[in-house]
Amino acid sequence: MSIKTIGQRISIAEHSDAITIAISANIPPSQQMALEAWFGAWLGLGGLMTYGAYSSSGDERMYLLVSLAFWAFFFVRILKVILWRRMGSEIIRISTKEMMIKDAFKTKGKERFYFLESIGKLEAVERNETSFFGSLDQSFWILGGDNIHFNYKGKTHVLGKQLSKSDAMQLSNYLNKSIARYLKKK
């Protein structure tokens, strides 16, 4: 087994019968602290809104309860991002028949399987860095920003959350070569 890396977040383990790629979701400690401070402030806001909802009545109470529903939605979203940044990783495994992609929280996560023969070319996405939504999609407080796309049975699938342009290009080239190599072994 040989181990390679691409950038600081991607590690590749080549086994005799498969290739396993792990893309870490870790961010710098300063960003992690900012994210968790934001979460703490969000909890405080929720506490104040809950207190207000139960100490008021009428229309004001209804307004606060509706606001709490929106607060709860974003509470779950922020919590998921914090957990992803602490213990998440994307796992890609290529074997002789298929490619598996899993967004893993430690070891848990849904595995998606793709037959190698049906996978289109993997390509790094060109991002418009001056676009508001383009830069927002690459922000550390968002769970998203997939930078590698491929077609599979007529649908576009994604991987490579918030990779740099260079890392996404290197990884997509490596994946294309690996898939081609395994297809030749058949």
Consecutive H or E run containing 4: strand 2-6
In this structure, is residue 61 part of a structural domain?
yes
Q: So what's the pLDDT on residue 143? A: 80
Q: So what's the pLDDT on residue 145? A: 77
Host domain of residue 63 = 30-85
Q: So what's the pLDDT on residue 182? A: 86
Question: How far apart are the C-alpha atoms of 184 and 186, rounded to whole Å?
Answer: 5
Percent of the chain surpassing pLDDT 90: 68
Q: What pTM, to 2 d.p., does this model score? A: 0.85
In this structure, is residue 37 part of a structural domain?
yes
In this structure, is residue 59 part of a structural domain?
yes
In this structure, is residue 25 part of a structural domain?
no
Q: How far apart are the first and last CA of the chain?
A: 21
Q: Domains in the chain: how many in total?
A: 1
- Could you tell me if 178 and 89 are in contact, meaning their C-beta atoms sit under 8 angstroms apart? no
What backbone torsions phi and psi does residue 115 show, to the nearest 5 degrees?
-70, 135
In this structure, is residue 4 part of a structural domain?
no
Q: How confident is the model at residue 11 (pLDDT cuts 50, 70, 90)?
A: very high
In this structure, is residue 102 part of a structural domain?
no
Q: So what's the pLDDT on residue 47? A: 95
In this structure, is residue 170 part of a structural domain?
no
- Could you tell me if 183 and 159 are in contact, meaning their C-beta atoms sit under 8 angstroms apart? no
Q: How confident is the model at residue 101 (pLDDT cuts 50, 70, 90)?
A: very high
